[in-house]
Structure 1
Amino acid sequence: GLSSAQWRLLVRVAKEAGAAQARLAELLEIEPISVSRLVDRMEEGGWIERRQDATDRRVRMIFPTEKANAAYADVKSLAGEVYEESLTGVSAEERRILIRVLDTIVQNLTDGETSSLEKIKNTEGAAA
C-alpha cells in the first residue's frame, strides 16, 4: 500500500494533473527533495509519471496514471459514503455551523509564524 505521504501526493496530483514538482512541494508544504523522493517511489510503483514541460525542459510535470486515477476514485467514493454516514441526522444549518467552527479552529492553530500544528510536528519529530 501507499504511505500517508504518498496518498497526500496522489490526491494532489489527481486534483492538479500536470503540476510541477516544485508546485507540489508548495502545496504539500514539504521540501522539494522530499517530493522528488516520493515521486521516484510512486513512479516506480506505477502510480504517477513525469513529463517534461514543453516550454521549459528543466521543469518536470507530474501526472497520475490510470492506476492512480482508479485508486483516487475509489477512495473519493468511500470518503463520500463515510461523510454522509457521519452526518446522518445533522441538519444543513448544523453542517454550516460545524464547518465555520472547524475553519475557526484551523485558523487559530495556523496563525502566527509557526503554527501550533507545526510546533507539535516538530516536537514529535525530535522525540523520535
Structure 2
Amino acid sequence: MESNINMELMKKMMIFTRKSHGHRPPEPPFGDHGHRPPEPHFGGLGPHEFGHPEPPFGECGPHGHRPPLSRERLLVVMAESSEGIRQKDLSEKLKIGQSSTSELINKLEDDGYIERRIDESDKRATLLFLTEKGQARATEVADERAAMFEDAFSKLTDDEKKTLSDLLDKLLSE
C-alpha cells in the first residue's frame, strides 16, 4: 500500500516536472529590434572536444556525472508499450521533436537497446521495441527512480502525502 502511494506521487511529480519544463515565460527582447545577440560559436565542439568524453550509456563519467537522461527516459516510456511504438507516438509522449527522437533512437539501436520491426498490421510502418538489454536498462532506471522517491517520500506522513497528491492534481489540472 505504501509503495503504491509513493509510485502515484512519483508519477504525478514526473508529469508535473515535464509539464512545467516545457512552459517557460517569454524572454524579454534584446536591443532595439527585439533580436537576441548571436550565440557564441564553438565550431561545433561538443564535450568530447574539451577532453570530457561522454561516458558509456548508463554509467557515470569521471566526475560522477551521467550522460543526459533523454535516452533513459525514452527506454522507460518504451517499456510501457510492450506491443511496440511508432516513432511519431514516441516523440509525442516524450514531448520532443521527431529529429531529436530519431537521433536518440539511432544511438540506442546502435548500442543494442532497441530494435525496429515491421508493423504486421501495416507493412509500411515500423514499430520500435526494446531488446532484452533495453528492457533490463528500463527496469533498472525505473527501480532507481522508485528508490529515490521512496526515500524522499518516507519523510512524509500519510496525511502529508495525501496533501501533496491533491496539490499536484491541482497543478496538473491547469
Shared fold, TM over 0.5: yes
- Alignment correspondent of 1:23: 89
**RCO higher in 1 or 2 (8 Å CA, sep ≥ 6)?**
2
Equivalent pair of 2:85/2:128 in contact (CA under 8 Å): yes
Matches within 5 A, 1:26-105: 26-105=92-171
Looking at secondary structure, tell me which structure has more helix per residue: 1
Runs of 4+ in 1 over 4 A off after TM superposition: none
- Amino acid corresponding to residue 161 of structure 2 in structure 1: R
- Amino acid corresponding to residue 5 of structure 1 in structure 2: S
Q: TM-score, normalised by structure 2?
A: 0.56
- What SS does structure 2 have at the residue aligned with 1:57? strand
Separation in 2, partners of 1:107, 1:97: 15
Change over 3 Å in CA distance of 1:84–1:97 after alignment to 2: same
Q: State the Cα RMSD in Å.
A: 1.7
Alignment deviations for residues 4-53 of structure 1 (CA, whole Å, 9 cap, x no partner)? 22112111111113011111111111222222221111100111011110
Separation in 1, partners of 2:97, 2:164: 33
Q: TM-score, normalised by structure 1?
A: 0.74
Unaligned runs of at least 5 residues, structure 1: 109-128
Residue 93 of structure 1 and its aligned partner are, at CA, apart by 2.2
Larger Cα-atom Rg: 2
Between the two proteins, the alignment pairs up a number of residues equal to: 108
Separation in 1, partners of 2:70, 2:80: 16
Moved more, 9-18 or 30-39: 30-39
Equivalent pair of 2:78/2:130 in contact (CA under 8 Å): yes
**1:13 aligned residue (78, 84, 97):** 78
- What SS does structure 2 have at the residue aligned with 1:51? strand
Unaligned runs of at least 5 residues, structure 2: 1-56, 58-66
